[in-house]
Structure 1
Amino acid sequence: MKAFVDKDTCIGCGLCPSICPDIFDMDDDGKAKASDKEIPDALIDDAKDAEDQCPVNAISVK
């Protein structure tokens, strides 16, 4: 599984890196970015939690 952030939708609230900092970070443009690596099994629940809690549905984990 990998995580993706739609930069056009992201509002830069910073919630995803607070939930799953090993996968999400804030980019220089002030919007979230996702690691391009496969999500380790131990972090899938956290990544999906970040996806569920994103206020603008900018995250997809698949």
Structure 2
Amino acid sequence: MKAIVDPDRCQGHARCWEIAPEVFDLDEGGHGVVLTAEVPAEFEERARRAALNCPERAITVH
């Protein structure tokens, strides 16, 4: 699975990082970034939950 954060949509709510810190981090401006190109299987559910909880819908997972 891959996770992608759209930097143009992310507003820095940090919900992704709170839900899945193994997958997401925050940049210098507090916006979400993906830590790894491929989400490890054990963190896929957290990555999906983070995408669903993003108020800006800036995260896609596939």
Distance 1:30 1:42 in 2: 25
Distance 2:53 2:15 in 1: 8
* Seq. identity, %: 39
Q: Who is 1:30 aligned against? A: 30
Query: How far is 1:38 from its partner?
Result: 1.0
Q: Who is 1:58 aligned against? A: 58
Distance 2:37 2:6 in 1: 17
Distance 2:36 2:6 in 1: 14
CA-atom RMSD in angstroms: 0.9
The 4+ residue runs of structure 1 with deviation greater than 3 A are none
Aligned residues: 62
Q: In structure 1, list runs of 5 or more residues that go unmatched.
A: none
TM-score by length of 2: 0.93
Q: In structure 2, list runs of 5 or more residues that go unmatched.
A: none
